[in-house]
Amino acid sequence: MLFNSLEYAVFLLFVVGVYFALPFRLRVWFLLAASYYFYMRWRWEFIFLIVAQTFVTFEAARRIAHAKSEIVRRFWLSTSIVFCLGLLGYFKYLNFFQDALRPMFEVAGLSYLAPHLDIILPVGISFYTFQALSYTIDVYRGAHVAEPYLARYALYVAFFPQLVAGPIERATHLLDQFSRRNRFDIERFIDGGKLIVWGLFKKVVIADRLAIYVDRVYESPELYSGPTLLMATYFFAFQIYCDFSGYSDIAIGSARILGYDLMQNFRVPYMARSISDFWRRWHISLTSWFRTYLYLPLGGSRVGYLKWARNILAVFLISGLWHGANWTFIVWGGLHATYYFAESGTRRIAVRSGVRTVLPGYLIDALRILLTFHLVLLSWVFFRASSVADAGLILTKIFTDFGGAIYMGASQLTTLLSIALIGVLVAVQVMQEKGFVSLYFSKSRIPAAFRWPLYAGMILCISTLGVSSNAFIYFQF
């Protein structure tokens, strides 16, 4: 079931109506059933993976909480980690690693007979696997008590607004909310509804329209000139942001209507002033997950430079691999690690040399935003390209092939409208960065007489300019 469908709108209204009509003791069970139904609308058989991870991690956490020795605690923690990552590895990475091993065997003169399997990737498996794992690890660390009620924990793993593409929640934030007695709140309903409308606008009006041009150009990069490939890359930068942040907005808005608060996942990332700042603003729940459960356990920044560099490289490479079983994602992660090292080195040199600039602060900020955006833009080429070879070709043509007219798409009007919509998005982002419009649209300095016609205009655009019911990009991860 897609957020950008009439089916979801009917489903959400039905769930909200029944949820608040039910007595408190039945609400968790109802939301759990609704969440399982929501997921099964994609492929019903993969619900067993969620159920299996739920039972294993719930039982492992319970055994950890009651264990008398550290050996037993570590055994159950290891069981949970191996089981969850084993499932993720089989469905997402088995063929990738087999394909990587095959040429190594051939170089050694050996035959690698393992076949390439036709494996369907369960939607959202990377998200709910990390969410379930974080619970067991938090119980082991003493950051959260073991949940005594299986149904409540099962809802934490499968809560439908954020089940398939995040935000990746923590038990310390979301699980305890399911014991709260929520009442219908008209203000939360309005705030959640506004956020859903904004998310849908970003997805079906902006992202899906940009996708038409991006898909055409990136499908056959050898046919297009450097300026065309550059424009397609600019379009993709805004497509993936609108697509993914649009999903997060709809998820947060849906949960808010039901009385629950999901964590922030985006904070105007293209206004970042450095790569480290970008990762504090982009896919915040994943960045936070890797920091808590990988970077800090490796030693974080409390170690020598070489070990710190190892930690940063490990986080970014694994983050790249998390996004997809393709070398393009690993290169994408490695490129961001390289940016991070360069930023850290530049900052140290500037501090030691006492460099000062005569430029005004607002101009420095603008230059830093532009530089950061274009570094991120460069990395998006690898994220979107079908292969490393295609990414190399695209970058080569962008920097060397300046001839030929820019391809304006199947419809020049559609392409010009896409550019105008990017302008609208940037204007809203600037207002959000400056505080004129809140990230969740709950508060604004703009008078209601102007705001409500804007919301009505967005709804009109969704109904008239919405391109398709394409799946969200991050569903593949």
Cα distances from 434 to residues 248, 263, 373, 437, 445, in angstroms, run: 21, 21, 18, 8, 11
- Direct distance between the N- and C-terminal alpha carbons of the chain, in angstroms, rounded to an integer: 16
Q: Are 255 and 19 in contact (CB under 8 A)?
A: no
Cα distances from 442 to residues 188, 232, 297, in angstroms, run: 9, 34, 37
- The set of residues, in sequence order, having a beta carbon less than 8 Å from that of 233 and lying 6+ positions away, is 377, 380, 381, 384, 394, 398
Q: Are 226 and 399 in contact (CB under 8 A)?
A: yes
252, two tokens: 């947060």
CA-wise closest residue to 210 among 475, 456, 460, 423: 423
**Measured distance CA(233)–CA(122) in Å, rounded:** 28
Q: Are 444 and 436 in contact (CB under 8 A)?
A: yes
**Measured distance CA(443)–CA(430) in Å, rounded:** 16
**Measured distance CA(31)–CA(29) in Å, rounded:** 6
Q: Which positions are catalytic? A: 323
435: number of Cβ within 10 Å: 11
